[in-house]
Amino acid sequence: MKILTSGTDLNAFLECIRCSEGRLLMLDYDGTLSPHQIERHEAVPYPGIREILAEALASADCRTVIISGRSISDLLPLLGIESGIEIWGCHGWERLGPDGDYTGPDLDADISTGLEEAAEWATAEGFEERLEIKTACIAIHWRGLGGKETAGIERDVGERWHEIADGKELELHRFNGGIELRPTGMNKGMVVDNLLSGSEGSAAYLGDDLTDEDAFRAISGRGLGILVSPGLRETAADVWLTPPEELIWFLERWIESCGKTDE
C-alpha cells in the first residue's frame, strides 16, 4: 500500500464514508476484482470478493457499480451475481441497471463496418483464437505469449487496425495483455464523470489497467482513485493497493461503513 498523491489521507477518507451523504463504489473487473488469466473465461473473482459485493449490494445508500471493458453478457457468468448490480460494459458503451434494464451500444454504421472489417482481417490472418468480439469493440489478446511473439502481433495488428480506423471514429488502445479497437466518444472516465455528477458524498474507483487511467483522472479531487496492481507503475491514482489482501482490506472497510438494509 502506498499513498501516491499529496494531501490524500486514506484513514480520514475511510472514517468519512460512514457520515457521508452517499457512497459510490466503482470497480473495474479484470485485474482488479479477479486475477488476469490466459483463458479469459476463467477469470473468476478472488476468493471473498463475491461475498463482499453481495454485502455491498445489500447495503443502504451504497451504489456499487462495475465498469469494465468486457461485454456485460461475458462478465455476468464470471461475476456470479445474477441480479441487483449495475454494470457498465465495453468501457461504458452498454449499461445494465440494478433493476435489470439494459441499454446497448448505438454505433454509427461506419464504426460497425470498421469493427467488422478489422475482425475479418484478424480472422483471415490467423488471429481468430486471440480475437474477442464485444458489443462495442474488438480486441486481440496475447497474454501468455513471449515478448518476441507479442511484439510481432502488436506490430501487425496495430498497423492494420490503425489503417482501418483512419478517418473513422475508432481508436486503438493498449491494455494489459492485448490491444483493442473501440469507438471514440466513450471511456471509463466519462462513465465515472457521469456517475459522480449524480452523486453526493464518498466515492472511490478501483482499477488496474491503462484504460482505468481515464477514470483515475475523472475522480481526481472528487473521490479516491485506487490502483489495484501487484506492481506500482506511473498512474493518476491516489493510492496503490496490492491484490488480493489489501484490496479485500479496503473493501471490507468500505462495507463496514455502509448501513445495512436489514438493520
**What is the contact surface with Mg ion in residues (CB under 5 A)?**
28, 30-31, 208-209
Cis peptide before 244 (omega within 30 of 0): yes
Is residue 156 classed exposed, middle or buried when 0-12, 13-18 and 19+ CB atoms within 10 A define those classes? middle
Query: What whole-number distance in Å separates Cα of residue 261 and Cα of residue 263?
Result: 6
Residue nearest to Mg ion (CB): 31
Asked if 140 and 178 count as a contact pair (C-beta separation under 8 A), the reply is yes
Alpha-helical segments (H) within the chain: 10-17, 49-57, 72-79, 109-124, 147-165, 188-197, 213-219, 245-256
Q: Closest CB to Mg ion among 121 and 175?
A: 175
**Least distance to Mg ion from the beta carbon of 213, Å?**
11
Q: Closest CB to Mg ion among 180 and 209?
A: 209
Q: Closest CB to Mg ion among 36 and 130?
A: 36
Query: What whole-number distance in Å separates Cα of residue 201 and Cα of residue 215?
Result: 18
**Least distance to Mg ion from the beta carbon of 187, Å?**
13
Q: Closest CB to Mg ion among 17 and 227?
A: 227
**Least distance to Mg ion from the beta carbon of 141, Å?**
13
| Residue 42, helix vs strand vs coil | helix
**Least distance to Mg ion from the beta carbon of 86, Å?**
17
* Alpha-carbon torsion, ordered 187, 202, 9, 31, to 10 deg: -40
**Least distance to Mg ion from the beta carbon of 68, Å?**
7
**Least distance to Mg ion from the beta carbon of 61, Å?**
27
- 259-260 and 23-27: which strand pairing? unpaired
- Listed residue (261, 205, 259, 233) closest to 67, CA to CA: 205
Q: Closest CB to Mg ion among 30 and 214?
A: 30
Cell numbers given for 54:
453481495
Q: Closest CB to Mg ion among 35 and 98?
A: 35
Q: What is the amino acid identity at position 18? A: R
**Least distance to Mg ion from the beta carbon of 217, Å?**
16
Q: Closest CB to Mg ion among 31 and 189?
A: 31
Asked if 142 and 152 count as a contact pair (C-beta separation under 8 A), the reply is no
